[in-house]
Amino acid sequence: MDKPRIVIIGAGFGGILTAKYLAKKDVEVVLIDRNNFHLFQPLLYQLSTSVLSIEEIAYPTRAFFRKYKNVFFMLAHVQGFDFVNKEVITPYKRVKYDYLVIAAGATTNYFNMPELSYHTYGMKTLREAIHIRNHVLHMFERAERESDPAIRQRMLTFVCVGGGPTGVEEAGALSELIFIAMKNEYHRLQNDTPRIILIEAGHTILATMPPKLQRRTRQVLKKKRVEVMLNSQVINCDKNSLTLKDGTIIATNTVIWAAGVRAVPLMEQTGYPLDRSGRLIITKTLQVPTNPNVFAIGDCAHFEQNGYPLPTVAPVATQQAIICAKNIMHSIKGEKLQNFIYHDLGSMATIGCGQAVLCKGNFTMSGFPAWLAWMGVHLLRLSGFHTNITVALKWFWNLFSGIRLGRVITNIPDNRE
Amino acid sequence: MDKPRIVIIGAGFGGILTAKYLAKKDVEVVLIDRNNFHLFQPLLYQLSTSVLSIEEIAYPTRAFFRKYKNVFFMLAHVQGFDFVNKEVITPYKRVKYDYLVIAAGATTNYFNMPELSYHTYGMKTLREAIHIRNHVLHMFERAERESDPAIRQRMLTFVCVGGGPTGVEEAGALSELIFIAMKNEYHRLQNDTPRIILIEAGHTILATMPPKLQRRTRQVLKKKRVEVMLNSQVINCDKNSLTLKDGTIIATNTVIWAAGVRAVPLMEQTGYPLDRSGRLIITKTLQVPTNPNVFAIGDCAHFEQNGYPLPTVAPVATQQAIICAKNIMHSIKGEKLQNFIYHDLGSMATIGCGQAVLCKGNFTMSGFPAWLAWMGVHLLRLSGFHTNITVALKWFWNLFSGIRLGRVITNIPDNRE
């Protein structure tokens, strides 16, 4: 008899961990992803601001499974499903499964404003982060050549939308890139003042954290010359400006959109009930209610606990991955499936180098000790021992010298620019 | 009176060093390059084979001149010259000069076979190296999905053309990437045998080195499973094959062209006499014979010594840079200009990790000691102390573990591939 075959869609935190667990069992695993690497998304903002390099946050997926001959990786963009015949549809072939794990992740949520997707920069993929890096550096090069001061100011105005951890981290890192690393390098821009603006629709940044940490974060951002605009809803955006609901127009060529995520569009191909963020609604055992052979975990799954859906963060995906893998083995053996319970590990955000806030329940921490804790947690989770060393080196180097070597424009949009 | 203004075209080894020297003088320097970084070209093959990362071989040009307010960088692709009005023409504006230094470098030489430029990969720019990396990794992904064994073999056949140091180094590094780092990761390709072929038109590889080192290199390449084809001239290339003069057709999707360089096409815009590699012919004082305000150095200049033109290597550019900068200062002060004399520092090539050959005059060295020497020389020349540490770490790590983390496909050519 053939081994049971488990197909996993997505090589993010959830997919990789599910595959790692199942690799040691007597099953066949097919892991499908549209990229050949596992992306460490929480540090994507550091790539976009020239702190880390591509190799430090993107790890070749196949390297995880070198020893496991029962794990097959496939580079493909999944197009749909045939649940009747138990097949996943890819451009090359249909892949048969006995059990399917959908761990396809999330994408940027533009809240049905397509013009935003044209004129803003998302922060979810490696390519998007590289685009931001190229674009920000390029804006400085163009500004230095520009004689009109108004256009120069527009080129030097950088807007992050979304006051959650991603927006805060991106704004803080941008501030250091611009006011520390690049200061003194643009000799013709010494009389210009770049602006970094963080826009949040709600009444506070880091809404899920205690007020104390919100205040602390505001203070640090202020020091870093990041202007925070609260209660400000973006309603439009074009090539050269951003419009808020109250009529304010901000002249800018750079809008980084970190205001929300939704499940990848592939979820719509399932035909199963989704929540309003496009996530698959799943049972306590992480299965699709009407199809016990299909599991869903992580950012593309909607799991309710205490009346609320779980947040789209890495610890949810990794904790679910273990239960998902166990439940598949239970199911193969005809055993009873286990219910998933999420254990909140707290949340954290860095605001540039040497500054962070973190909380778990009533416990809070901020400043340099929090940054050290943040660093430890992220180093432990990065893939590859060698990466840990170079990343730690870079962080300390950055802390002491402010130098960022990754300021390399790999793609100049137009030959004439 | 205004300070004399020196415009330097090109931020390679020659241009950077000229600018660094002049930065300390009472002059104004404008450094123009089409990229915002200085590229350490001798290690480009290590980027293309996933050993090093972009940041390690590309250093932001402006970072060299942070302290020197009299040095202005300009990101622009120079389009031509107006020698009468002493201006350099860029897409944005004309840049006035009192002295001009042309250090614009070289590009791939396809020897008037345009079809080669469409179907082969050059090895001169950062983007070309990234293309090679993406493409080689992608070929393995595609081969694993391919059911036709002949197509699979074609996808797994990698050809380097040119038996000089670049071709030898690329072939050696590819061998390690494929036979060490990627071995055991493509579980469905365990019965396929990738081929690496090094093609040279002449009767030996490393023609400028002593026969002893040529033999040694052949031995090492053989161990690394690189097939060397001598006396083999490429006459054509299409999407799926390469044709040699003797009629041999090699089925391959990957031809890396390292068979020769010529000066960048910009040299033709000067209207001054060029040699047959498109290089500007210059005087003993590094000037254009008919225009004493225009200097040329490095790969785009033709300087004869003992009846032969100097080779297109970094030490020529760096030695010329110093004399060029000094001569400009002499000229400003009305002093006599100095003749340039090249001091040969020998040559070296690595053949993968832990193996190198080097010679200077009658002195030769090979194997691991030569590799250590090669490593030392390259580390000393890399920009940024921090880079030295991470690069040294990676080289030793690679030597002992064979692991290469940079195997990240950043650009998949077609969504369906």
pTM of this prediction?
0.93
Q: Which one of A29, A67, A386 would you mutate to disrupt binding with B, by most B Cβ within 10 Å of its Cβ?
A: A386
Residue B235 backbone phi and psi in degrees, to 5: -115, -15
Residue A63 has pLDDT above 70, yes or no: yes
CB spacing of B187 vs A411 below 8 angstroms: no
8 A C-beta contact, residue B229 and residue B197: yes
Q: Which residues of B touch A76 (CB under 8 A)?
A: 145
Going by C-beta distance under 8 Å and a sequence separation of 6 or more, which residues neighbour residue B4? B27, B28, B98, B99, B332
Size of interface A-B (CB pairs under 8 A): 144
Residue B401 has pLDDT above 80, yes or no: no
Q: What is the mean pLDDT of the segment spanning B398-417?
A: 70
Q: Which residues of A touch B35 (CB under 8 A)?
A: 409, 412
- Which chain A residue's Cα is nearest to B95? A145
The predicted pLDDT at position B398 comes to 77
CB spacing of B36 vs A137 below 8 angstroms: yes
Question: Tens of pLDDT along A81-122?
Answer: 999 999 999 999 999 999 999 999 999 999 888 888 899 999
Burial of residue A290 (CB within 10 Å: 0-12, 13-18, 19+) is: exposed
Q: Name beta bridge partners: B195.
A: B157
Question: Tens of pLDDT along B71-93?
Answer: 999 999 999 999 999 999 999 99
> Across all residues in chain A, what is the average pLDDT?
93
CA dihedral over B350, B351, B355, B357, signed as positive or negative: negative
Q: Which residues of A touch B89 (CB under 8 A)?
A: none
A52, A55, A58, A59: CA torsion to nearest 10: -140
ipTM of this complex prediction, to 2 decimal places: 0.90
CB spacing of B408 vs A126 below 8 angstroms: yes
The predicted pLDDT at position B18 comes to 98
CB spacing of A66 vs B184 below 8 angstroms: yes
Least confident of A64-73, A239-248, A377-386, B176-185: A377-386
The CA distance from A55 to B394, in Å, is 12
Least confident of A296-310, A331-345, B95-109, B361-375: B361-375
Question: Tens of pLDDT along B164-206?
Answer: 999 999 999 999 999 988 888 999 999 999 999 999 999 999 9
Helix (DSSP H) and strand (DSSP E) numbers for chain A: 11, 27
Q: Where is pLDDT greater, at B325 or A353?
A: B325
The predicted pLDDT at position A1 comes to 64
> For chain B, what percent of residues have pLDDT higher than 90?
81
3-state secondary structure of A236: strand
Residue B26 has pLDDT above 50, yes or no: yes
Residue A141 backbone phi and psi in degrees, to 5: -65, -45
Residue A348 has pLDDT above 50, yes or no: yes
The CA distance from B100 to B86, in Å, is 8
The CA distance from A101 to B210, in Å, is 60
Largest CA distance in chain A: 75
From residue B22, alpha-carbon distances to A38, A255, B5, B15, B343 in Å are 46, 39, 10, 11, 22
Q: How confident is the model at residue B1 (pLDDT cuts 50, 70, 90)?
A: low
Q: Which residues of B touch A394 (CB under 8 A)?
A: 386, 390
Asked about A146 being catalytic, the answer comes back as: no
8 A C-beta contact, residue B109 and residue B275: no
Q: What is the mean pLDDT of the segment spanning A183-198?
A: 93
Nearest to A315 by CA among A371, A360, A284, A273: A360
DSSP codes joined into one string, B311-326: PSSHHHHHHHHHHHHH
Q: How confident is the model at residue B158 (pLDDT cuts 50, 70, 90)?
A: very high
Q: What is the mean pLDDT of the segment spanning B85-103?
A: 97
CA angle A241, A244, A248 (to 5 degrees): 75
- Which chain B residue's Cα is nearest to A59? B405
8 A C-beta contact, residue A343 and residue A360: no
Going by C-beta distance under 8 Å and a sequence separation of 6 or more, which residues neighbour residue A42? A314, A378
Q: What is the mean pLDDT of the segment spanning A10-32?
A: 97
Residue A415 has pLDDT above 60, yes or no: no
Q: What is the mean pLDDT of the segment spanning A280-293?
A: 97
The predicted pLDDT at position B405 comes to 76
CA angle B264, B270, B118 (to 5 degrees): 30
